[in-house]
């Protein structure tokens, strides 16, 4: 057996009963005496949930009325669908408050409310409350400096390298101006194109040392005409490409496909080249190969079948 919601005809429209047993009319505001009761109970310290149960009004309606009273100090309902004139009035009051804050930033929220009443912008009944004015000032960021001075941390990259913030911003702006082919406003990253001669020099240097020191980078810069930043970026990308092909190298060397790497050392250099402490000396680190052997699956060809 199903029971529909209780409805009845009212002079203003169709009435309904909410879950708390209270009668409401959909789309219409609560009566003024109920609104007064909600405000008076809230001033006594009664929680909104208890107000909702005692007056049989939904919790959302109670919260909305209390928030409206806290912001505007009024309990009168707004027009159905909102009033454009009321919105314009609120915006005009907010504009006057912001102008007053700009002219005299030392004024408190209570002084701003008194100033609005004194200037006949608002009355005591519809003037915004002190918390509402504080919230407006905080949201608009009035009195807060728009651009805070950047403080360089002692452990930042700039401090370690001894580069000032102004030099970093200047160098970044110079790179953007010099590398952009046009004055287009698009924020696309401009990639550096290398010539064949530059690539040959970079590849030879990469085969010699994947982590070139300062003197090596300086010599490469003289041969190619590239800046050290671009050279370091190229080496970083080159190491990343080699690490991407590292599983293929491990497959050839660990799983029994051969004791020597494939015949294309340009794509697959020695794994030891990716260690920061790598040098051209033939001394190898056994821990690196031990890590490869432990991380790889056991090979079926590692132990020959026992003969019966």
Cα 232-234-235 angle, rounded to 5 deg: 65
If asked whether residues 40 and 95 sit together in one domain, one would say no
Q: Which residues contact 259 (CB under 8 A, 6 or more apart)?
A: 253
Q: Could you say which DSSP state residue 147 is in? A: S
Band (pLDDT 50/70/90 cuts) for residue 53 is: confident
Tell me whether residue 302 is in a domain: no
- Whether the model clears a pTM of 0.85, i.e. scores above it, the answer is no
Biggest CA-to-CA distance, the chain? 110
| CATH code assigned at 35 | 1.10.10.10
Q: Could you say which DSSP state residue 25 is in? A: E
If asked whether residues 242 and 206 sit together in one domain, one would say yes
Q: Could you say which DSSP state residue 258 is in? A: -
Tell me whether residue 165 is in a domain: no
Query: What is the rounded CA–CA span in Å between residue 57 and residue 30?
Result: 9
**Is the pLDDT assigned to residue 70 strictly greater than 80?**
yes
List own/partner pairs for 197-200 with CB under 8 A and 24 or more apart. 197/224, 198/224, 198/225, 198/226
List own/partner pairs for 40-49 with CB under 8 A and 24 or more apart. 42/66
Bridge partners of 25, per DSSP, are 15
Q: Which residues contact 54 (CB under 8 A, 6 or more apart)?
A: 41, 46
Band (pLDDT 50/70/90 cuts) for residue 266 is: very low
Q: What's residue 14's pLDDT?
A: 59
Give residue-wise pLDDT tens across range 28-47. Answer: 778 888 888 888 898 888 88
Give residue-wise pLDDT tens across range 155-212. Answer: 566 666 665 555 555 555 555 555 545 444 444 556 778 888 888 999 999 988 888 8
Total count of domains within the chain:
3
Question: 98, 125, 140: which is the final residue of a domain?
Answer: 140
Q: What's residue 126's pLDDT?
A: 80
Tell me whether residue 173 is in a domain: no
Q: For strand 13-17 and strand 23-25, is the pairing parallel, antiparallel, or unpaired?
A: antiparallel
Which residue did the predictor score with more confidence, 76 or 151? 76
If asked whether residues 265 and 234 sit together in one domain, one would say yes
| CATH code assigned at 252 | 1.10.10.60
- Mean of the per-residue pLDDT values of the chain: 69
Tell me whether residue 304 is in a domain: no
Which residue did the predictor score with more confidence, 223 or 86? 223
Tell me whether residue 161 is in a domain: no
For 240, the domain range is: 193-281
Give residue-wise pLDDT tens across range 109-155. Answer: 888 888 888 888 888 878 888 888 888 888 766 554 444 445 555 55
């Amino acid at each position: 057996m199903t029971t529909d919601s209780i409805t009845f005809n009212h002079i203003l429209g169709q009435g309904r009963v909410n879950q708390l047993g209270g009668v409401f009319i959909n789309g219409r505001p609560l009566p003024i005496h109920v609104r007064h009761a909600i405000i008076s109970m809230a001033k006594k310290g009664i929680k909104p949930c208890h107000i909702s149960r005692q007056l049989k009004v939904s919790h959302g309606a109670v919260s909305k009325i209390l928030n409206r009273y806290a912001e505007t100090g009024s309990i009168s309902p707004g027009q159905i669908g909102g009033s454009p004139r009321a919105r314009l009035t609120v915006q005009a009051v907010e504009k006057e408050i912001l102008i007053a804050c700009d002219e005299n930033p030392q004024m408190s929220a209570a002084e701003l409310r008194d100033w609005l009443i004194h200037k006949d912008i608002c009355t005591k009944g519809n003037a915004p409350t002190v918390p509402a004015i504080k919230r407006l000032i905080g949201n608009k960021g009035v009195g807060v400096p728009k651009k805070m001075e950047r403080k360089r941390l002692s452990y930042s990259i700039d401090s370690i390298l001894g580069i000032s913030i102004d030099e970093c911003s200047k160098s970044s702006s110079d790179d953007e101006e010099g590398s952009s082919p046009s004055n287009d406003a698009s924020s696309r990253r401009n990639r550096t194109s290398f010539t064949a001669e530059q690539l040959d020099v970079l590849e030879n240097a990469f085969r010699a040392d994947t982590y070139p020191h300062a003197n090596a980078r300086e010599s490469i810069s003289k041969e190619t005409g590239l800046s050290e930043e671009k050279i370091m970026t190229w080496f970083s990308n080159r190491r990343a490409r080699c690490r991407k092909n590292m599983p293929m190298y491990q497959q050839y060397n660990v799983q029994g496909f051969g004791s020597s790497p494939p015949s294309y050392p340009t794509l697959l250099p020695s794994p030891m080249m990716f260690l920061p402490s790598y040098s051209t000396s033939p001394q190898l680190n056994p821990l690196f190969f031990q890590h490869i052997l432990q991380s790889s699956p056991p090979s079926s060809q590692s132990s020959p079948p026992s003969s019966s």
